[in-house]
Structures are given as C-alpha cells and as structure tokens.
Amino acid sequence: MHITKVEDDGEPSEPKEIARRFVSQCGVIVRERVPISIRKWRSTDPNEPYVLADTQKEMLWADVKEIFGFPDDRAEKLKDWTLKKMATQFQDYKTKLWKKYVKTEKIPDFDNHPTIRPHHWDAFVEYKLSTEGTEISVRNTGNAEKKKYTHRMGSGGYKGSVEKWDKMEEDLYTRAFVQRRMIGPYDQSIGIMVMEAL
C-alpha cells in the first residue's frame, strides 16, 4: 500500500482509503507492540520508569514502513505525525480498558486480548489506582470538562465528515432541482415551498 500525498503537518491524505487504513493500522501496531504498563509516551527525565523508549518508537515506525510506502521527501513529517497519532491511540486504548474493566472491577479475558499480558495488566491497574494515577486522572478529567467543544465525529474526524456533508448537500440540490422540474416553470413561492419540504 502506498501513500501518495502527505499534508504539510505530516498527515497522510491520498489516496483516501489507504490513508484511512494507515491510521487504523497505526492503532493495531501500537496495541500489539506497546505494553499497557507503559505510563508515558515521552519524558524529559531519561531515568523515569515506565516511559516508552525512543528505540521502541523506532521499532513502531519500522513496522509502519514494512506495510506502507510513501514519498521519501515527506518521511520525517509523516514519522512525526504517525508517532503523535500512535501516542493518542495508545492513550485512548488505555482509557477504554480503564472504563470497561477497572472501573467496573472486571478483569479482561486474556485469551480474547492476547496482546495484554497478566503482569502488564497488574501493573496497569496498580498504577491507575495509585495516588499518582488517581491525581493525573482527576486533573485530566478537569481539563476535559473545560473544553467548550468536544470531538464527536468518529475516527475520521472533521476531514472525514466533510466528504459526507458535501455528498448530503449535493443530494439536497439534486432532489430540489428534480422537484422543481417536475412542477413546471419556476415559481418562487413554489420553489421556496419545495425547499422547505426537503
């Protein structure tokens, strides 16, 4: 699979279907390769435990390069964007695990979650229930509540929705044009009624 266009911020955009697969595959790779016991994606303290090492990030990027081709002149921008996207996907994954299992006092079936090892699960739960984990969770919840606009557009985000909106708008214009042709010569009062009926 080959990405033919990478935006200035590093996001893959063309062809659209391959770009969607790219994002989806990034999520798969990060869930399979990064243990949930990792607490931070990056840190300024090189001795801090439970931080994803740069060598591991390079391995994630190598996994992506095995699956996707892309323009060589955009490789660094794409790499930066990809690792940021993976960081977000990893955090979202841990949040889902927290809500589905830890908050409900359940344990996942490790046979159905082969990428989660019991010792990583134990470390994940221990941290989430610790004072430090609880304080961070409270802080993040407070920050989320301050958001004026929340993202509810799904994995495609705004860009993915624009296509749908454009298609809906085109369909409305097409139906309105057909309705007007069916009623004969254009009459402004009828035209307005037709548009309101749609």
pLDDT digits (tens, 9 = 90+) for 31-85: 999 999 998 888 888 788 888 888 999 999 999 999 999 988 989 999 999 999 9
pLDDT score for 183? 53
Q: How confident is the model at residue 136 (pLDDT cuts 50, 70, 90)?
A: confident
Provide the percentage of residues in the chain whose pLDDT is more than 90.
36
Span 98-113, pLDDT tens digits? 899 988 989 989 888 8
More confident residue, 184 or 43: 43
Tokens of 119: 């010792």
Q: How confident is the model at residue 134 (pLDDT cuts 50, 70, 90)?
A: confident
Q: What letter would DSSP give residue 169? A: H
Q: How confident is the model at residue 195 (pLDDT cuts 50, 70, 90)?
A: very low
Q: How confident is the model at residue 197 (pLDDT cuts 50, 70, 90)?
A: very low
Interatomic CA distance for residues 121 and 132, integer angstroms: 17
Interatomic CA distance for residues 36 and 147, integer angstroms: 27
Q: Is the pLDDT of residue 184 over 60?
A: no
Considering the chain, what is the average pLDDT of its residues? 83
Backbone angles phi, psi at 43, to 5 degrees: -155, 150
Q: Is the pLDDT of residue 177 over 70?
A: no
Find out whether 1 and 19 touch, Cβ atoms under 8 Å.
Answer: no
CB neighbours of residue 61 within 10 Å:
18
CB neighbours of residue 48 within 10 Å:
11
Measure Cα distances from 75 to 8, 39, 42 in Å: 11, 27, 21
Find out whether 51 and 43 touch, Cβ atoms under 8 Å.
Answer: yes
Domain ranges for the chain: 5-144, 159-197
Interatomic CA distance for residues 47 and 5, integer angstroms: 38
More confident residue, 162 or 138: 138
